[in-house]
Amino acid sequence: TQLLEQSPQFLSIQEGENLTVYCNSSSVFSSLQWYRQEPGEGPVLLVTVVTGGEVKKLKRLTFQFGDARKDSSLHITAAQPGDTGLYLCAGAVAQGAQKLVFGQGTRLTINP
């Protein structure tokens, strides 16, 4: 059974600070996706990383896929109140229909 451990579960920081969210697993994933989920809504895709060691940037967000494709991180630079929300990582299992295995999420609060 593939598991994806996401940390921290909760993070509250001041506007302008930097932060990093981690997702770790003992399993290899064919790709890893980061989503943001608002209350009562579905996950909205932020980025997909596919290649081991891949780094993708989305404005102030930097996503990295580990060399062994078992872990990933999301780094936010100069966080803003608009970054507040629930961030989810999800690994695509490298067999069959490639279901997604989700982490438990990081609830991020950016205080003005």
Residues that bind another protein (CB under 8 A): 30-31, 33, 35, 40-45, 48, 50, 88, 90, 92, 96-105
- Kindly state the smallest distance separating residue 15's Cβ from another protein, in Å: 27
Joined together, the tokens standing for residue 95 give 């067999």
CB of 66 to another protein, least distance (A): 17
Hey, how many other C-beta atoms are within 10 angstroms of the C-beta on 74? 23
Radius of gyration, CA atoms only, the chain: 13
Nearer to another protein, 79 or 90 (CB): 90
Nearer CB in complex with another protein: 66/79: 66
Number of H helices, E strands in the chain: 0, 11
Minimum distance, C-beta of residue 37 to another protein, in the bound complex (Å): 8
Nearer to another protein, 6 or 79 (CB): 6
Residue number, 44 or 78, with CB nearest to another protein: 44
Closest to 89 in 3D by CA, of 17, 9, 1? 9
**Tokens standing for 46?**
């932020």
- Least separation in angstroms between CB 41 and another protein: 5
**Six-digit token string for 40:** 């009562």
